[in-house]
Amino acid sequence: MEKIYDTVEVRHIDNPAFVQDARCPEDVSEVLSPELAAEAQREIAEWEGYAPTPLHCLNAIARSAGVRSIYYKDEGVRFSPGSFKALGGAYAVQQLLRQEIGRLSGQAVSLEDIRERRFPDLAGTITVATATDGNHGRSVAWGAGRFGCRCVIYVHREVSAGRCKAMERYGAEVRRIDGNYDDSVHRAQADATENGWFIVSDTSYPGYTTLPRYVMAGYTVMMKEALEQIPGPELPTHVFLQGGCGGLAAAAAGYLWQVLGDRRPRLIVVEPVQADCLYQSVSSGRRVDVNIREESVMAGLSCGEVSTLAWMMIRPSVRDFVSMNDDLIAPTMRLLAQAGNGRPIIAGESAVPGLAALLAAARQERLWKALGLDGESRVLVLGTEGATDPGIYRDLTGVDPGPAAVPATEL
C-alpha cells in the first residue's frame, strides 16, 4: 500500500443527530417505503440483461488494512451504463412514462407495458431532461432509449467529452452550459418548464419529490444483492459509500435500517473536500449548500446542494461523514487494477472514495478509532462505477480498462 495513505488529511465528523434506535422511524420510511423498494427490485429484475453485479472479497487488502474482511460491490458492470446509476435514473424514466402515458391514453398502464414498449407513439411525444456530472445522465439517456422517449441532457463545463459522447450514443441531445453542476440543474429546470419537458433528477427539492423517490428505490437493488451475496451469516459491521447529493447514501441507510433493524452496520459517507455539502450540513446541523469553486477528480460526487429527501433520511441514519482531497483516488484505482493476479477490478474515480477512506483510516490512528474499526471489522464498500470515461481512467492509472466485466472471485 502506498505511503500516501499515511499523510493525506482526511476530515471526519461524528453525526450528533444520529439515532441508534432499532426501529426505522416513520418519517424515514415515508420517504422510501419497503413497498416502494420492493416494487423497484421486482421490476428491475425483469429488465433485459439484468444480473446481480459481482461482490469481490478483497482478502489481501483486508489483511493489509487490519480488518477481518472487505467486500467490494462492483457496479462497473451494471447494465450498459456501467454504474449503479443505471438502477435509478432509468427506473424513474419508466415510472414517469407509466404515469404520463396512462394520463394521455386514459388507460391503466403497467411497468410491464412500458418495458415492452406497448405505447410507442405516445412515448415518442414525451421528452425527459436532466442535469448530470455523467453517470445519472447516462442512466436517464439509456432508459429513454430503452423505453422510447426523447431525452435532453445538461452538462456543466467540466464534464468530459467522453461522458458526453456516451450519452449521445443512447440517442440523447447533450447541451453544455457554463458554470458548475448546480448551475446545470437550474438551467435544465428552466428549459423543461418552458418546453413542457419532464425533469428526471436524482436530487429532490421543494415541489419536486416523486421521481427522486423512484431513483432511490432503484438503488436499493444494489443493497439487496449485496446482503444476499455476503457469504455465511455474518453481516457487515461498516459500510463505506460515496456522498454526492445524498441519494445513494439515503437509499442505503433507509433500506438497511428497515431490513436489519438493530443489526444495521455503521455507515460512513465519503465526499470530496471541494464538494462536501453533506459534511458541512451535518457540521452545521442544517442543510448547507457548497459553492463549488474547483472541480474534484471525483466527478460524480461534485454536488454542492443536498437533496431535500435525502437529507431527511441521512440525518438520523448515518453515523460518520468523511471529507478528503483528490490525492488518494488514483492510488486506490491502481490498487484495485493491480489486484488479483491478472484479474483487475476496473473502478472509476467516483467508485473508490469509500475504499480510499478505509485505507487512510488503517494508517491514521485517530481516524481508525473515530470510525470504530478493529481487527474484527467486516467492511462493505460500494464501488459505484467502472471506467465510465476510459481516457480519464487511463490517465489516472496507466492501465487500459479494456472489458470491464470480471467474475466475482476472492482477490
pLDDT of residue 158: 85
Given the residues 74, 85, 276, 326, the one annotated as active site: 85
409 pLDDT band (50/70/90 cuts)?
very low
Q: Is 73 a catalytic residue?
A: no
pLDDT of residue 210: 95
Given the residues 73, 74, 113, 133, the one annotated as active site: 133
Residue type, 367: L
C-alpha cell at 72: 467490494
pLDDT of residue 2: 77
Round to whole Å and give the CA distance between 264 and 257. 6
CB neighbours of 48 closer than 8 A, spacing ≥ 6?
none
pLDDT > 90 fraction of the chain, expressed in percent and rounded: 84
205 pLDDT band (50/70/90 cuts)?
confident
Residues 70-127: pLDDT tens digits? 999 999 999 999 999 999 999 999 999 999 999 999 999 999 999 999 999 999 999 9
Least confident range from 199-203, 213-217, 332-336: namely 199-203
Residues 368-398: pLDDT tens digits? 999 999 999 999 999 999 999 999 999 999 9
Residues 277-298: pLDDT tens digits? 999 999 999 999 999 888 899 9
Residue with cell 472514495: 353
Q: What is the DSSP letter of 205?
A: B
Is the confidence at residue 405, as pLDDT, over 70?
Answer: no
pLDDT of residue 303: 87
pLDDT of residue 402: 80
Q: How many CB atoms lie within 10 A of CB 170?
A: 20
Q: What is the mean pLDDT of the chain?
A: 93
Round to whole Å and give the CA distance between 269 and 119. 41
Query: 385 vs 82, 139, 313, CA distance in Å?
Result: 6, 12, 23
408 pLDDT band (50/70/90 cuts)?
very low
pLDDT of residue 179: 87
Is the confidence at residue 40, as pLDDT, over 70?
Answer: yes
pLDDT of residue 1: 67
Round to whole Å and give the CA distance between 129 and 374. 46
Cβ–Cβ < 8 Å for 134, 160: yes
Ramachandran category for residue 345: left, alpha or beta (phi over 0 → left; psi -120 to 50 → alpha): beta
216 pLDDT band (50/70/90 cuts)?
very high
Q: Is 3 a catalytic residue?
A: no
* Residue predicted with more confidence, 232 or 362: 362
pLDDT of residue 328: 96
> What is the value of pTM for the model shown?
0.94
Round to whole Å and give the CA distance between 152 and 192. 9
Residue type, 329: I
